[in-house]
Amino acid sequence: MIFSRHLYWIILLHVVLILANAGTGTWLIISQRGFVIGTLLIICSFLQISGLVNKLNSFNQKLRIFFDAIEDKDNMLYFPEQNVSKEQEKLNRSLNRINLLLAKTQSEYSKQEHFYHSLLEEVPIGVLAWDSTGKIIMANSTALSLLGCQQLTQYRQLESLLQEKGRKEHLSLSQNRMKLQNETITLLSIKDIGDELSDKESESWNKLSHVLTHEIMNTIAPIISLSQTLSAYPDINEKAVRGLRIIQAQSERLLQFTESFRHLSYLPQPEKKLFSLTATLENLRELLSGDFQESNITFTLTCHPKTIYMKGDENQLSQLLLNLLKNSIQALERTEKGKISIHALQTEHISIDIADNGPGIPPELQEKIFIPFFTTKSEGSGIGLSLCKQIIRLHGGHLTVKESSPGKTVFHIDIPL
């Protein structure tokens, strides 16, 4: 209020002086009592008007600069409070105080924004948001990972990704709309239900395997014992002995088979230790070098970086890789110039691709090959790939058929560090 009253008095004084000089000069000119003096007075009044306008413009210019700085979010602007007039000092102090409050508010807003952004990054489900124009304004890393992309800017990109059949079948989507200052924001949450289904499926198969192995072994053991006892009787004929031996041999074979997939339901928890994945892969190359040479298979191994270390159960993972390599060797039995390659990559996780140029896996069988006891081989047990899947699941990773067509099949392993 003091500032306003003082400014008003200054403006009023300037106006009175301007009117006095202009009026006196005009009267002197009209009355022809002092033409030169009257002219000088009128010129002085114009100079006073110019000075008053410049003074008022300086206030307006300062306010304009201040508001432009606010619009540009520039908090470094400072107006001097020393060596200026009293009115300028008070105005500059007020502007500096407002600027300080705005900077503090913006800092608090940035902290909150960073907090909520970090919180969304920790959420185990994917979250996206877009405005009414279809512009993606927020997408956390989980959402990008589930959608298999690095960046999203427009809703049409999201729509295209969600149309892919394989991805859509393993994702649960939930959409909601909200109003923010007359702006409609659409929120989409994405959850991977593939892992949940896989875990439940594995649990069901484990329970089934446990029941089967228990019942089969309890039933077969007495049959083997009885057949041995009966075949030892002195008065039994040779034909009966031969039949009992066949029963015993077949029972023992069934018992061995039951024991082999018993490991599927009793797979121990991995003993995770730091080991060299590169060294393990090199050992497998040496182990299977004879098979590669005998089957005329060219094997290549690439690792980025050259030496990869990871934490996991080396024995289980070595068995997993060995099973996949043997599957590839078997798939190349009728291929003249077979090729098998392993590409291992370490970034934020461990990625391993095992590829061969075999005949491929038919699309209708790609989802069945990981089911326990399912096999397309005449002498296969259908346990190998299921066991591999369970080993990877216990390591918190994924095993999938990345690609399969005549001439190229790629199994993809993804394990978090």
Q: Are residues 131 and 156 in the same domain?
A: yes
CATH of the domain at 145: 3.30.450.20
In this structure, are 174 and 200 located in the same domain?
no
Residue finishing a domain among 265, 296, 320: 265
Alpha-carbon span 45 to 20, nearest angstrom: 8
On whether both 39 and 140 belong to a single domain, the answer is no
Residues 313 and 347 occupy one common structural domain: yes
Domain final position from 147, 165, 192: 192
Q: Is residue 109 part of a domain?
A: no
Task: Choose the final residue of a domain: 136, 170, 192.
Answer: 192
93 in any annotated domain? no
Mark whether 376 and 283 lie in a shared domain.
yes
Do 336 and 368 sit in the same domain of this protein?
Answer: yes
Q: Which of 193, 195, 213, 214 is nearest to 203 (CA)?
A: 195
Question: What per-residue confidence (pLDDT) applies to 165?
Answer: 46
Q: Are residues 245 and 280 in the same domain?
A: no
Looking at the structure, tell me whether residues 207 and 331 fall in a common domain.
no
Q: Cβ contacts of residue 218 below 8 Å, gap of 6+?
A: none
Q: Do 319 and 243 fall into the same domain? A: no
Q: For residue 52, give the nearest of 86, 16, 15 by alpha carbon.
A: 15
The overall pTM is greater than 0.85: no
Task: Verify that 321 and 396 share a domain, yes or no.
Answer: yes
CB 335 within 8 A of CB 357: yes
Beta bridge partners of 403: 410
- Within a domain: 370: yes
Q: What are phi and psi of 376, to 5 degrees?
A: -105, 0
Domain span holding position 19: 2-75
Q: Is residue 95 part of a domain?
A: no
What's residue 303's pLDDT? 94
Q: 101 lies in a domain?
A: no
Dist CA 254 CA 252 (whole Å):
5
Q: Is residue 210 part of a domain?
A: yes
Query: Could you tell me if residue 404 is inside a domain?
Result: yes
Beta bridge partners of 105: none
**Bridge partner residues of 276 (DSSP):** 309
**Does residue 103 fall inside a structural domain?**
no
152 and 231 together in one domain? no
Q: How many domains does the chain have?
A: 4
Q: What is the CATH number of the domain that holds 364?
A: 3.30.565.10
322, 405: one domain:
yes
The ranges of the chain with pLDDT < 70 are 1-8, 55-57, 59-60, 62-64, 66-67, 69-79, 84-88, 91, 164-170, 193-219, 226, 230, 235, 250, 253-267, 367, 371-383
DSSP code at position 193: -
